[in-house]
Structure 1
Amino acid sequence: MPPTRTHALSPSSLSSPCTTVALVTLAMTSMKSKPGVPSQTRRSQFERAQNEALDESAEWRMKYDEEVQRSGKYLQELVRVREELEKKIEETEKSKSDLAVLQKEKQSLHKRTESLLHELQSVKMKCHI
């Protein structure tokens, strides 16, 4: 007589999609080892286990599809945000270059104003003499 195997299933092992398939296989092997179980009972137990496996597989597929859809939305949002960020960076760089031009123009106008003030002072001095 072959040694009997005991299968310990932890709650965490029941969460994988392969677990139901393992349970179906386990059920089939345990049914084969019971000589007094009628074949119709074994067949209905197998069909029930197989249906449970198919249901679990469908649930996992639905979870996968939902995750793919959610990931797609996140990717679209990421692309949109990245494009906006690149646009803002371009605008910032343009603003910086515009600012540099304006600062140079301000310095030039400031020098010109100083020059005109000195010229005005000298004209006033000549008028008072």
Structure 2
Amino acid sequence: MDIVTARDTKVVAMGRKSSGILIAFVVIMLMAIAAYIKIWTIDYRISSQESLLLRQQFDLAHREAMDESAEWRQRFDMEVEKSQMCIKELDQIKESRQAASAAGINKKLELLEKENMDLLEQIEILKQELEAEKFNCSMRHI
């Protein structure tokens, strides 16, 4: 019985050590969980404040971007108006040049027609003179 009793006492002693270790492990686990929860709540508060700050910064940047976009749109509209005015002026200049050139062309055409008529008259006169000379030459040979 001594052997059985010694063995039982060893088992009991080991059981006490195991239960002590188990209790210490459970206590350490509880402390770790508490520390984790504490850190998580601190981080959550910080991240909540950061998200609010980030949201405000985003809203500010968005408003600035919208203002800049409106400014560029206004500049674009002004340039479109300027280009339309230039196109209108160019069309007016083209029309006036065409009208002026048409009038100039008509005058030149009239002058050329007169000159052509004069030249045709001179050709007729020269033909008559040539015929007269031919006639004179043929009369001399006879």
User: Normalising to structure 1: TM-score of the pair?
Assistant: 0.56
2:64 maps to 76
User: Which of these residues, 38, 46, 59, is aligned with residue 58 of structure 1?
Assistant: 46
* CA distance in structure 2 between the partners assigned to 1:51 and 1:128 by the alignment: 109
Structure number with greater Rg is 2
Give unmatched runs, 5+ long, in structure 2.
Answer: 1-35, 118-142
Q: Which has the higher contact order (CA 8 A, sep 6+)?
A: 1
* CA distance in structure 2 between the partners assigned to 1:126 and 1:49 by the alignment: 111
2:3 maps to none
What amino acid maps onto 2:105 in structure 1?
L
Find runs of 4+ consecutive structure 1 residues off by over 4 angstroms.
Answer: 48-55
Higher helix content, 1 or 2: 2
Residues 1-129 of structure 1 mapped to structure 2, 5 A cutoff = 53=41, 55-129=43-117
1:40 maps to none
RMSD over equivalenced CA pairs, Å: 2.4
Give unmatched runs, 5+ long, in structure 1.
Answer: 1-47
